[in-house]
Structure 1
Amino acid sequence: MTFMKQIKLILYIALLTISSAVSAQQAWSPYERQLWVRPVFVHSEYNSAYLANNHSSYDDNVRITAGSLVLEYGITDRLTFDLSSGFGKLGRHRILDRYYGLQQTPESPDKYGVLDTRVGLRYKIIDEFDSKYAWMPTISLRAGGIKKGDYDRNPQSLGDGANGGEVNLYFAKDFNFYGLGTLGELSYRRREKPVPDDILYYGAFYKKIFEVVFLTIGGRGQIGQGGYAFADPRQEPPNNYLNLKTADLIPGVNLYDYWVANERPAWGRRENFHNLEIGLGFTDNYGNFYNLFYSDTYSGYNTAKLKTVGFAVNLPFNL
């Protein structure tokens, strides 16, 4: 893979980590006629990426800022409707500016856009607080749809730029000793082709301190199901040997390159990431929950090495 092709892949990276953090949900949910309003602010930066099985660094930091609003309404004690969307900014950057200006990439200007919108229904299959068994966890199942945002997805974007659907399984358990508990998620997300399907996971342990402070430590990730493996699909034999020049039809145009650009675009490539997360939360006397969190990408495939800090507030209202 040439150096400039590596640069292209860096620009093509989709920032799914942000949308995961912004719209994160859990097994616990509002009860009947209760509305949870959750504004979320997330800021991420990266100056390196995992390019297939390699790691590459570059000169400038890419900064992404996003704000979102998540609404969750309890239709019944077990059935919840949720809706989330937001707005984001991809900051101005130039990822290559070295050799005294002799080798540069064009500067990418500030870009703005509406984030992907998620809507769904979540059903609480088991509620640990209503169970007669002390070991019983809370388990919820969700099904929902994804409407792609209006951001520019080329050369990189605030999401995958594709409509789709997802199924989410959430679990949670308060151990009821030493303030310990656990949270988790396992999801399958399907989008329009050529964006590949994804398996997403989350798992964490928390510690309650004085019943009002929560310390959470865990991990979140995505495992791409299919998709293109390299920055340039022509890198994969035998396609890299094709050279369909057509001087008579389209002078100077390689038909295979034309097909790659239109049928195998950058957002069709597989993306894996695995993040470590830590959060510190606080509950006030009115039941409002404030959470400051940080995550760092420690492993990946065709993804940015993100450092993310965020702040969320969950505000419950009885209607």
Structure 2
Amino acid sequence: MKHIKKIFGAIFFLYSSLSAQQAWAPYERQLWVRPVFVHSEYNSAYLANNHSSYDDNVRINAGSLILEYGITDRLTADISSGFGKLGRHKIFDRYFGIQTTPESPDKYGVLDTRLGIRYKLIDEFDSKYFWMPTISVRAGVIKKGDYDRNPQALGDGASGGDVNLYLAKDFNVWGLGALGEWSYRKRQAPVPDDILYYGAFYKRFLENIFFTVGGRGQIGQGGYAFADPRQTPPYNYLDLKVQDTIPGVNLADIWVANDRPAWGRKEDFHNVEVGLGFSDSFGNFYTVFYSKTLSGYNTAKLETFGFAATLPYNL
């Protein structure tokens, strides 16, 4: 099922987004160590404008480590990577085996690695304006992991880069605050560019317990629909057979297979997520979170559970 390959790009980016950077960052000579563990599962997907259900659950488990170091009070360097497992599954097994797909075995691989530099443009805690948020910008590179893209994968298998804008604001009223993000990601062809967004509100209880609710999504900036391009105008009109030379070979089909693979399809997803966090007396922060896909285009209908810890060290 080649269409699933592009789906897993969303899965890994979900991991990295939930666990990675925000506007608040370490101060000078402070190191944040953040281990993250995630379990995701789905048995249906949005295939273009249609919805398809499967006979088996696809399970993904991943662990990653994010390091963020404060070079100065405003400048931060970060790096993240991890390891994942795609559990064995058989998507279709119907009508007493008449309609079936081969079972996919367990697969393992190193996840995509992200490396970046972040600059805090405005620190709300240093501003004389009570309404001013914390604003940070980041630029980074993405190195593809070593997982197999065929027929499914833990990512899109393409290196690239991204730019990010982060916002954060503690309202200092009733323990309320807000977080936001806008990102643009570009990677090797034929993987399309993506715009990613995040927005959430949090409520602080008893000074050290946080409840967060928000949404996160991706809007593909290119790529093609779920259907094989050969079936979509104008490609369905191409019939480039080499008559009497290579019987049965259609050059258009060869072009589609080699130059328009599944990970080049457009992918959108829009998720809702909630989290519950706790900060201890040493400044460590622990959180559990849940996310679910509400709508999408060429993406899995995911449910994700995860745990993350942020452990600060003064160096």
Does 2:148 correspond to 1:152?
A: yes
CA distance in 1, matches of 2:107, 2:178: 38
The amino acid across from 2:180 in the alignment is G
1:12–1:250 CA distance, 2 compared to 1 (3 A): farther
Contact 1:194 1:264 in 2 (8 A): yes
The amino acid across from 1:24 in the alignment is A
Deviation at 1:58, TM superposition (A): 1.2
Does 2:60 correspond to 1:64?
A: yes
Q: 2:101 aligns with which of 95, 101, 105?
A: 105
Contact 2:2 2:152 in 1 (8 A): no
Q: 2:119 aligns with which of 108, 116, 123?
A: 123
Does 2:11 correspond to 1:17?
A: yes
Structure 2: any 5+ residue segments left out of the alignment? none
> The residue matched to 2:8 in structure 1 has which SS?
coil
Describe how 1:130-209 pairs up with structure 2 within 5 A. Answer: 130-209=126-205
Deviation at 1:231, TM superposition (A): 2.9
Which stretch has the larger CA shift, 248-257 or 218-227? 248-257
CA distance in 1, matches of 2:79, 2:4: 31
The size of the alignment, in residue pairs, is 313
Partner of 1:302: 298
CA distance in 2, matches of 1:251, 1:12: 33
Contact 1:14 1:157 in 2 (8 A): yes
Q: 1:251 aligns with which of 247, 253, 262?
A: 247
CA distance in 1, matches of 2:150, 2:6: 7
CA distance in 2, matches of 1:136, 1:314: 25
> The residue matched to 2:33 in structure 1 has which SS?
strand
Describe how 1:17-96 pairs up with structure 2 within 5 A. Answer: 17-22=11-16, 23-96=19-92
1:110–1:180 CA distance, 2 compared to 1 (3 A): same
Does 2:289 correspond to 1:293?
A: yes
> The residue matched to 1:267 in structure 2 has which SS?
helix
CA distance in 2, matches of 1:301, 1:95: 19
Could you tell me the TM-score, scaled by structure 2's length?
A: 0.97
1:138–1:11 CA distance, 2 compared to 1 (3 A): closer
Contact 1:12 1:154 in 2 (8 A): no
CA distance in 2, matches of 1:12, 1:133: 45
Deviation at 1:249, TM superposition (A): 3.8
1:14–1:21 CA distance, 2 compared to 1 (3 A): closer
CA RMSD of aligned residues (A): 1.2
CA distance in 2, matches of 1:8, 1:264: 12
CA distance in 2, matches of 1:231, 1:310: 33
The amino acid across from 2:7 in the alignment is I
CA distance in 2, matches of 1:239, 1:310: 42
CA distance in 2, matches of 1:247, 1:224: 39
Which stretch has the larger CA shift, 228-237 or 174-183? 228-237
CA distance in 2, matches of 1:103, 1:184: 45
Q: 2:238 aligns with which of 236, 242, 251?
A: 242
Deviation at 1:221, TM superposition (A): 0.4
Contact 2:6 2:265 in 1 (8 A): no
CA distance in 1, matches of 2:251, 2:307: 48
Partner of 2:272: 276
Does 2:206 correspond to 1:210?
A: yes
Contact 1:276 1:295 in 2 (8 A): yes
CA distance in 2, matches of 1:98, 1:306: 23
1:289–1:56 CA distance, 2 compared to 1 (3 A): same
Partner of 1:4: none
The percent identity for this pair of structures is: 77
Could you tell me the TM-score, scaled by structure 1's length?
A: 0.96
> The residue matched to 1:13 in structure 2 has which SS?
helix
1:156–1:12 CA distance, 2 compared to 1 (3 A): farther
1:49–1:19 CA distance, 2 compared to 1 (3 A): same
Which stretch has the larger CA shift, 101-110 or 7-16? 7-16
